[in-house]
A and B are shown apart, each in its own frame.
Chain A
Amino acid sequence: MGMAAPESLLICEHCDTVYQRRPLVRGEVARCARCMAELERHQGLSVNAMLALVLTAMIVFVQANMWPIVTLGLNGQFSGTTLWGMIITMWQQQAQVVSVLAAFTLFFFPLVKMLTLGWLLWFGRQGRRAPGFVPLMVALHRLGPWTMSEVFVLGALVAIVKAHNYFDVVADPGIYAYAALTLLITIFAGVDLRQLWDHTAERPA
């Protein structure tokens, strides 16, 4: 075992147990025998499929941010908002911390994540490493759990139900765009982006 090449070994991130890597069949998940954590799963999406998903997510993301999310009505008056309307209102209402949290977790981080992925995959489909591949891969890893669009969708649902007791509520296109975005994020949740290290040759584009 001591002679094995590093790429052929897999170390459990949760307990440091070392395994010999083996190819997985469709739908298979390799689990650590010591701590039961997931070691690796079969990656069913090709680079092209991932790129298509990222491009779709970008389009949906633009719509989710431009279109109003919900409109409330009260005695003939109407009031709606977009994501940025919400971020700006929170800033004006002395809740700058919340405003900044929302701006980063719902706008900047998801945006950076999609643009970075799109860039890496665009070159990746030709088996090449994009300019800035290494720092961008590190940045993607650091972004980790700090994108929260799917939490926001559930929050919007709760807000709608709460408002429904006092106002007429009209769901606007933005909320559907967000729902679609959540679906895409869920599909992506099973994708291990680290496979891009193996997919691409070790030479700059």
Chain B
Amino acid sequence: MNSLPRAAELGLISCHTCGLTCRDTGGDDMACPRCGSALHRRKPDSYMRAWALLIAGFLLYIPANVLPIMRTASLNDIDDNTIISGVVELWVKGSPDLAVIVFTASIVVPMLKFLSLSVLLVTSQRGSGWARVQRAKIYRLVEFIGYWSMLDVFVVALLTALVRFGLLSLVEPLPGVIFFGLTVVLTMLASMSFDPRLIWDGRDTDD
């Protein structure tokens, strides 16, 4: 694919903030003439930051799933819900469609993020030429759907604010929801830290 020149070959840098094509003058403290942002050939410390945030996110994802996220209390009954028991309840109580949506947002999307970002990081670090187009597509998918994981956090928050009937019925947030909210933020930061250009930087073996 030599007909498709890359920025580095032409001595160019694309500003990561405003997209302006800038000349690579070779210094370490280049700034975009249009928006003033620092110019980088690649996002700085991409691998280190992405790994750190991804691992931190994964560690918090464990208590997010093990600990209950919400307590439903009524006169004679206290019921603690985890993410997965909330999905099961939706399914059993006759809303399988919403159960699938919540399951996707809370379980599938975070797992997809951990898995695909790990694969992207490992393969890019090794300069692998394997399935580059597909890896690029997976990255864009993860970026696009990542923030929808916040769904369950908002559900708990809204139910907590709504179900305020004193002794009769009360909903309270439990620590799991905090861990889950932090997981979503950390994984979003992790995918933002990864530089998709790195997928194409290894040994030049594309197609």
A binding-site residues for B, Cβ under 8 Å: 1-2, 6-7, 9-11, 13-18, 33-37, 69-72, 74-75, 77, 79-81, 85-87, 89-90, 93-95, 97-99, 101-102, 105-106, 134, 137-138, 141, 144-146, 148, 151-152, 154-159, 161-163, 165-167, 194, 197
CB distance A36 to B137 under 8 Å? yes
Q: A145 vs B158: C-alpha distance in the bound complex, in angstroms?
A: 22
Q: List 28 A-B contacts (CB under 8 A).
A: A1-B10, A11-B14, A15-B197, A16-B14, A18-B7, A18-B21, A34-B4, A79-B162, A81-B158, A81-B161, A90-B173, A93-B160, A95-B178, A98-B181, A99-B157, A101-B153, A137-B18, A138-B35, A145-B143, A145-B188, A151-B148, A158-B151, A158-B155, A159-B162, A162-B86, A162-B90, A163-B159, A163-B162
Q: Mark B163-207, 1 if CB is under 8 A from A, else 0.
A: 111001100110001100110010010001000110110000010
Q: A14 vs B163: C-alpha distance in the bound complex, in angstroms?
A: 45
Besides A34-B4, A93-B160, A141-B18, 10 other CB < 8 A contacts?
A14-B197, A33-B4, A79-B164, A89-B157, A93-B173, A102-B153, A138-B18, A138-B36, A155-B155, A158-B98
Query: Which single member of B1, B157, B163, B168 contacts A98 (CB below 8 Å)?
Result: B157
Q: A41 vs B101: C-alpha distance in the bound complex, in angstroms?
A: 30
Main secondary structure of the interface of B (DSSP, over half): helix
CB distance B199 to A93 under 8 Å? no
Q: Mark B96-130, 1 if CB is under 8 A from A, else 0.
A: 00100110000000000000000000000000000
Quick one: given A34-B206, A81-B162, A138-B37, are A145 and B147 in contact (CB under 8 Å)? yes
Cβ of B68 within 8 Å of any chain A Cβ, yes or no, is no
- Whole-angstrom distance from the CB of B2 to the nearest CB of chain A? 11
Main secondary structure of the interface of A (DSSP, over half): mixed
A-B contact count (CB 8 A): 205
Cβ of B146 within 8 Å of any chain A Cβ, yes or no, is yes
Q: CB-CB < 8 A to B178: which residues of A?
A: 95, 97-98
CB distance B151 to A156 under 8 Å? no
Q: CB-CB < 8 A to B22: which residues of A?
A: 6
CB distance A94 to B10 under 8 Å? no
Quick one: given A89-B160, A97-B182, are A18 and B12 in contact (CB under 8 Å)? yes
Query: Which single member of A85, A152, A162, A166 contacts B154 (CB below 8 Å)?
Result: A152
Q: CB-CB < 8 A to A80: which residues of B?
A: 162
Q: CB-CB < 8 A to B49: which residues of A?
A: none
Q: CB-CB < 8 A to B36: which residues of A?
A: 134, 138
- Whole-angstrom distance from the CB of A109 to the nearest CB of chain B? 11
Indicate the member of A14, A106, A158 with the most B CB atoms within 10 Å.
A158
CB distance A155 to B158 under 8 Å? yes
CB distance A14 to B6 under 8 Å? no
Q: CB-CB < 8 A to A18: which residues of B?
A: 4-7, 10, 12, 21
- Whole-angstrom distance from the CB of A11 to the nearest CB of chain B? 4
Query: Which single member of A14, A33, A102, A141 contacts B157 (CB below 8 Å)?
Result: A102
CB distance B157 to A10 under 8 Å? no
Quick one: given A34-B206, A141-B18, A155-B151, are A14 and B158 in contact (CB under 8 Å)? no
Q: A87 vs B154: C-alpha distance in the bound complex, in angstroms?
A: 10
Q: A97 vs B158: C-alpha distance in the bound complex, in angstroms?
A: 15
Q: CB-CB < 8 A to A1: which residues of B?
A: 5, 10
Q: A158 vs B95: C-alpha distance in the bound complex, in angstroms?
A: 9
- Whole-angstrom distance from the CB of A31 to the nearest CB of chain B? 11
CB distance A166 to B169 under 8 Å? yes
Quick one: given A6-B21, A75-B168, A93-B172, are A15 and B162 in contact (CB under 8 Å)? no
Q: A33 vs B146: C-alpha distance in the bound complex, in angstroms?
A: 25
Instruction: Across the interface, name the chain B residue whose C-beta is closest to A202.
Output: B34
